[in-house]
Structures are given as structure tokens and as C-alpha cells.
Amino acid sequence: MNKIQLILFGIAAGTCAWLGGAGNATAAPCPGWGCGANAATVGDGIVFDELNVNGQAGPSGMQLINPRLANHAPVTLRVTGHKLTAIDTANPAMTYVGPQLEGMTFAVRHNDGRAYEIKVAKVHERCEKKVPSDRCLQFWVLPNDAVPYYDFLVRKIHRRTGAAPGSANRRGDDRPIESGPGEKLCKGEFLEQGPLWTGIQNSAIVFEGDHYDVPRKRVTPPAGNGWFNLACAGGVMAKMHLLRHTKAGSVTLSGPPRQTTLGQRTAMLKMLTADYCGDGTAWTADGTPLQYMVKGWYPTQALNLDALAQAGQIEAVWGPNGPLCLNAPRRRPTVPAVAGCTPPGVTRAEVQARCPARFATPTNAGVTAPDSVIARCNAAWWAAHKNDSGLHVVSAYSLTPGQYCDSPPVTAGPN
């Protein structure tokens, strides 16, 4: 029997419910990756994450074309592991790396004719801190090898096919062609309070080897060669890589490899996006404190999960099909505390209404078979299943009950 693997790390995604006027709260599933998820946006409301160096169109309809160095020499892009390089078209024996890529541009073209030029403004590859303002980005999980990251600028170079020059020039719809250096590809929203991202809020990482099925929130192998992910700081995919839950992240420069299965990566993805129903619906927003765990990787001094289970402070235990057990979903802290205010986050009852088939009345003092129904993560469930093989990710509350608008319910019940 394999022991459960656990990881503890800082700020995770929260819930998709926001306090409104007069103390009212609304709760609803979030579209896409989740409410406010940080992702690369080229304007006109187009968000993308996956590109192909061979020019194939990605899931969002974006196609990478015409990569050129700063001197306009044509090149072919390559992503190996998490490192971006370029091969000289005229001299294939010549490969450009690191700072040699600065000033390089490539275009991404949407299937409706809109096109955008993306420029590599800065490459950050080393942890030598020759520039005081340079942040050294490292894996969050030992060994803490350096992770290259990049600053990208974007500007629009072609409008929607058939669009008149003066029509629909609203930002987020069909903005006009732009001159100048462009704007930041990664916006860096929601990261002001995220210390893990300080200094790299507008940067991105790249890595190959994993495809993200966004509607179903699953990790699968890429469909062919040349695919890579462009992940903005603070986004789900960047967290996955820095937690070594990617194929590229399994390779270490020192120490043993950090291998994960596709199922384990999917379990981590579902935890980060709060996919409580296991159907791909994300109930999440950036910035809510949450602890999550993977044993033997991080931290060196693990949480006492037995005590957390006894106190009802484990939020959920996660598998590739969603939570295996669930207490109250994660909560946002109350700002400020208001007497009689409504819960600042989605409730277990609201999740159950969305996916009733995933919930059932627990039997045998709350113990149910893993991956069949979502029981409560009470002490009985934990004692029965903490050593089950296949358990991978556990999330736990970070704030104490008094720091929430309502205390997470921990009493036993039928649901």
C-alpha cells in the first residue's frame, strides 16, 4: 500500500463567490480556468495558453507564425523542457539561446483573421542576480532548480477579416492595428498580495509535454509534436510546473526525478481549480489562502493531517476525478467582519446542487469507498483512507474559523 503523498504550499485559488451590497453573496461556477485566472491575452478578449512551433492551430484557434530574430533573420522556435530556443533557418547548426532571443518576434494569428505580434522583451535564465532587480525563479519543490522565465510584449498587427477600419474599435472586441512596442502579454492581475510572484507579475514560463483539457480540467499528452504551453505568472499552469506536476518538471538537475502520473497531475489541477464536481467546473478565484500538500516533496516538516482531520480542517482529498471527500469548500476571508453576513464563498450545498450524483449519504460513520461518492473529510474517513494507494493531493484550510465570515461547518451530517 503506497502512502499518501502530500504537499504544502502557499496561496492557492479560492472560491468564485463575492460579497455584494447589503451583505449579500453570490456563488456560481466560474468559466474557463476560473474567475480571474491569470492567462496570456492578446487583446480583443482572446486568451490563449497553448501554441505549436510548427504552425498548427491550437485549441483557442491561435496559430504561431513568422518567428524572427531582432535583426529580422527568420528562425524556427523550439521548446525543450522549459527552455525556449530558436534555430537559424539559413544555418540550422546555429541555435540562439538566452539573451540572444531578446528582441525576437513571432506572430499569433486567430482563425478570424486577427493577428498579433509578440516580442521577447527580456529573458531571465539564471539565478546569478547580476542585476539587483532580477528575480531568481525556482521550482517550489525540491530540488529548487532555476526555472527560465520571459517577459513578452504584444501589439495588434491585423484586424478581423472583413472588418471596416472604423468599426467596433472597442478594446476587448476588435481593437485597431497598433504601433509602438506594445503592452504586456501577461497582465499580472490578482498578484499584488501574492509574495510568491513578487518581481515576476508580468512574466511567463514555457514548457512542453502536457496538454490541458480546459473544459474537463484534465492533463493529457499533447496530440503530436511541437506543442508547448505559455503560462503567465500566477496562472494554474505556472503553478502546476513550479510544483513539478508537469512532464518537464519531472526532470531534475540534482537529486532524484520528481515523476508524476497523468492522474496525479490531474488531481493537482482539479485541486488548484476547485473542481468539486469533477466535471471540469471551476469554483475558484485567485488569492484565497489555502494549504495543499504532497508528502516527501514539500515541506520538510509536514502538517499533522491526523489532527487537522480530527478538527475538521481538511478541505478535501483529491483524485483524478475530483474530491474523494469534501468538508466545506474553501472560503475567502471576511473583509471586514460583519455581523450576520452571508458566507463569502460557495457552500457544500451549492456544490451538491450542481452535481448531486457525486454526493450520497455516507455509511459506516462517514466512511465510503474512494472515488465513488463525496463523503465528508471527517476523522473516520481519514483514518480509513489515509494510507490508500492513489491518494495524492490534500487541501486544508489556512485561516482559522474566526477569520471567515462564517466558520466552515465541521459537524457530521448526511451530506
pLDDT tens sequence across 352-407 = 888 888 876 554 444 444 445 788 898 999 999 988 877 889 998 876 655 665 54
Please check whether residue 6 is in contact with residue 323, taking contact to mean a CB–CB distance below 8 angstroms: no
Burial class (CB in 10 A: 0-12, 13-18, 19+), 67: buried
What was the pLDDT predicted at 12? 40
What was the pLDDT predicted at 65? 97
17, pLDDT greater than 80: no
347, pLDDT greater than 70: yes
Contacts of 141 (CB under 8 A, 6+ apart): 7, 242, 243, 244, 258, 294, 297, 298
Confidence of residue 415 (pLDDT cuts 50, 70, 90): very low
Between the alpha carbon of residue 21 and those of residues 18, 25, 330, 341, 370, the distances in Å are 10, 8, 22, 11, 40
Q: What number is the average pLDDT over the span 133-137?
A: 79
Which residue from 306, 329, 371 is spatially nearest to 15, judged by alpha carbons?
A: 329
What was the pLDDT predicted at 296? 62
343, pLDDT greater than 70: no
What was the pLDDT predicted at 40? 87
198, pLDDT greater than 80: yes
Block residue for cell numbers 533557418:
89
Please check whether residue 49 is in contact with residue 39, taking contact to mean a CB–CB distance below 8 angstroms: yes
